[in-house]
Amino acid sequence: MDQGFRLFPKEASTIAPQVDLLYFFLVAVTAFFTLLIFVAIVYLALRYRRKSEAMPPETKTDLRLELSWTIIPFLITLVMFGWSTRLFLKMSTPPKNAMEIHVIGKQWMWKIEHPNGAREINELHIPVGRPVRLIMSSQDVIHSFFIPAFRVKQDVLPGRFSSLWFEATTPGEYHLFCAEYCGTDHSRMTGRIVVMEPAKFEAWLAGVAPDETPAKQGEKLFTTYGCMACHGERGPTMAGLYGSTVSLADGSKVVADEQYLRESIVNPAAKVVAGFEPIMPAFQGQLSEEQIVRLIAYIKSLRTAAGGEANP
């Protein structure tokens, strides 16, 4: 943060050097062909200008030349495609041991909740050297979670979850921006990422007065809205649901991830589980984004453990 705004912020995540390397490669290729075309234009313009005695030679087909300017750019674009695809897949696949943190964007702030219930607004404290996965949603319009020093950015959309992960490599404070115009005070939707040594992070986390964990709050909502009446007897069980493959009434199958769970809460008729009637009421407009996040956190906490028991 003390370095101000720089054209190339300090690389502070494991993915940042790889993003920069690809970026510089693309810039180098672009600059080379731009210069090549510019030189060719200037040369031909001067050599074959109107008053020049030199005349362009008769046009002849050269198969080797045509193959060269077709195959070489094609191979370069294949390198770009393969390189960028590999990097995209790496950035889209968080490690299994990543710490999950919930983020809700709203005009004009970032609301953040840690696994133990600790909350922050426009700040995110994380440990260095540990993968962090952000599960994000928007309460109103499209936002975009952007950390320049980490070289990561992800749109945050209303009505669905989006995910972003990173692993910080250098302790310090870094800028956080909303990179999608979201209304009058969009420019004020900023914050900071505070990267700390693991011991200092644990001390900070212990010093914050946490609320109940999201899973515990979700359990209360599960009871308040009478979900147990069906999902304990007449409906699909929640134990071990998250991450499993669900067979649907139309014969298709779907993985029960955060997005599936969210859709099943707000619009249960969209994907009906095989063997069950579509009797669950829709909770669209009845639950806030925070409540949906907490319900899903509770369902995720019911994953089947190694011994076959559900973790409440």
- Span 23-41, mean pLDDT? 94
Highest-confidence segment of 85-99, 244-258, 298-312 = 85-99
Q: Which helix (H) or strand (E) holds 143?
A: strand 143-147
Top-confidence residue, 52 or 20: 20
pTM: 0.78
Residue 11 in contact with residue 20, Cβ under 8 Å? yes
pLDDT for 83 equals 95
Mean pLDDT of 122-140: 93
With CA atoms as reference, report the closest residue to 131 among 167, 94, 100, 170.
Answer: 167
Residue 233: predicted pLDDT: 57
The residue type found at 113 is E
In this predicted structure, the answer to whether residue 13 has a pLDDT above a threshold of 80 is yes
pLDDT recorded at residue 220: 80
Ranked by mean pLDDT, the top range of 132-146, 262-276, 278-292 is: 132-146
Q: Which of 174, 179, 180, 17 is nearest to 87 (CA)?
A: 17
Distance of CA 54 to the CA centre of its chain: 59
CA nearest neighbour of 56 among 37, 65, 70, 43: 43
**Which residues on neighbouring strands pair with residue 110, listed in sequence order?**
105
Predicted confidence at residue 75, as pLDDT, reads 94
CA–CA separation, 176 vs 230, rounded Å? 42
User: Average of pLDDT values for 208-230?
Assistant: 76
Residue 160 amino acid letter = R
Does the pLDDT of residue 265 top 90, yes or no? no
| Residue 306, pLDDT above cutoff 50 | no
Average pLDDT over residues 242-257: 85
